[in-house]
Amino acid sequence: VQNALKDVISLCKRRGFIFPGSEIYDGLANTWDYGPYGVELKRNIKNLWWKNFVASRPDVVGLDSSILLNPRVWQASGHVSNFSDPLVDCKACHERFRADQLLEEKLGESCCAGKTFPEIHQMMIDNEIECPKCGKKDFTEPRAFNLMFQTQLGVLEGTGNKVYLRPETAQGIFINFKNIMDNVRPKIPFGVGQIGKSFRNEITPGNFIFRTREFEQMELEFFCEPGTEVDWYNYWKKTCVEFVESLGVNKEKLRLREHAKEELSHYSNGTSDIEYNFPFGWGELWGIASRTDYDLTQHQKESKVKMEYFDAVKNKRYIPYVVEPSLGVDRLLLVLLCDAYDVEKLENGEERVVMHFSPKVAPVKAAILPLVKKGKVKEVAEKIYKNLIQDFNVEYDETQSIGKRYRRQDELGTPYCITVDFDTIGEGDDVNPELKGMVTVRERDSMKQEHVKIEDLSNWIHAHLK
């Protein structure tokens, strides 16, 4: 099955979606750079999330907070003491692993929930967990490895200047709660959404862009009145699933997994993951958590600043409860890549690789392909291109045979190929006079062709991107 992921990785490199990081210097493990098509795909994902969860909602506002925050933020949030994974060393080959991951691969999800380190160690022995690298079964006891990257502020070395790169964007929202309340004055229920980079010094990054140490998140903190959080939690679960489905993702590869009681953090009264069936198995895409008033209360304690909301209608004061849908940009991008990738057998026996992206997320919306690269055909094609590029990300390609150009666009997932030929310009032998001023639009998935008037093209594409 892992070959399926290899095929996706290879297409990503070959077609300029995602390159291995620092490649000319022999790389840097588990870092990836988004190339010209990857960056478009990523932008489309972020724009769609922002539009759906922030811009088009009267009850959500946006924020862009700093990556570097006062270290007391992470004291208050619990990240300094608790944001760690159980690290074990293989005594034979000295490779390091996450004990919970090794156990979960054998015993299933959340088998380590609520277990102490000595208990986890015993579970590894009882279940004869083998080192994935050398096969031996002798591991050290697990120890806590904090996932936050540390760095220092300014020129003086010393512990007083220690800061962390944020491991999530959410805390930036909580610490601006009062600013937003006092200055923007929204009425509860309302949410604050943010997109930005987060950093985690993961023990075992891997599976391409599934788990990396630098990644982007799209997070929403939705503040509500205590007692209404279960309804909102259910509402956001449904809304998030609908969003993923609206991007054309195969419903059979999606599931919503409700966390068992033992798996919940002490402050959460409900957490679910939207999972996708990746080539390497089911994995978390989107976490939706009902977090009660834990975060705001912690910041109120640490900062001594009141985090209360006054409801003027009900004449009551309270610390709001929060429901948090948290999604990784890169994770969603990997879902879209894996879900779109397809190798089709054609009637003539040939194979074609095609990315079945929904037109909404496709990096290139249309390609303009002149049948020949000279004369009036080229002129008309160039004019169409210059016109359309004002409104859509379109490409112009006059190299190679038309068949090869189609294959290239199929691999980029371009939903529409527009060909300009002698019929379009109405010049040449046996042209069909009815097709003058028209182009041929080929649809990627069905490969069906239809004729569209040049002046209708922009509206036609617009209508088909919805």
Residues that bind ligand ATP (CB under 6 A): 200, 202, 211-212, 215, 217, 284-287, 326-328, 330-331
Residue among 44 and 217 whose Cβ is closer to ligand ATP: 217
CB closer to ligand ATP out of 282 and 318: 282
Q: Say if CB 30 and CB 47 are below 8 A apart.
A: no
**Closest CB to ligand ATP belongs to which residue?**
328
In the bound complex, what is the minimum distance in angstroms from residue 412's beta carbon to ligand ATP?
24
Structure-block tokens of residue 30: 């588990």
Whether residue 348 is annotated as binding a ligand: the answer is: no
Whose Cβ is closer to ligand ATP: residue 31's or residue 127's?
Answer: 31
Shortest Å distance, C-beta 285 to ligand ATP: 6
- Closer residue to ligand ATP in complex, CB, 86/415: 86
Question: What is the smallest separation between the CB atom of 148 and ligand ATP, expressed in angstroms?
Answer: 12
Q: How far is the CB of 286 from ligand ATP (least distance, A)?
A: 5
What lies within 8 Å, CB to CB, of 302 at 6+ separation is: 72, 75, 76
Closest to ligand ATP by CB, 218 or 461: 218
Q: How far is the CB of 12 from ligand ATP (least distance, A)?
A: 16
Residue 217 annotated as binding? yes
Cα Rg, the chain, nearest whole Å: 26
Distance, in Å, from the CA atom of 25 to the CA atom of 340, rounded to the nearest integer, reads 31
Min CB(85)–ligand ATP separation in Å: 7
Q: Is 326 annotated as a binding residue?
A: yes
Which residue number, 202 or 308, has a Cβ lying nearer to ligand ATP?
Answer: 202
327 is in an annotated binding site: yes
- 83 a known binding residue? no
Q: Is 262 annotated as a binding residue?
A: no
Cα 227 to Cα 391: distance, rounded to the nearest angstrom: 46
User: Is residue 216 a known part of a binding site?
Assistant: yes
Q: Taking the CA atoms of 326, 328, 332 and 335 in sequence, report the sign of the dihedral they define.
A: negative
168 is in an annotated binding site: yes
Known binding-site positions for ATP: 200-202, 210-215, 284-285, 328-331
Known binding-site positions: 98, 168, 200-202, 210-219, 284-285, 324-331
Known binding-site positions for substrate: 98, 168, 215-219, 324-328
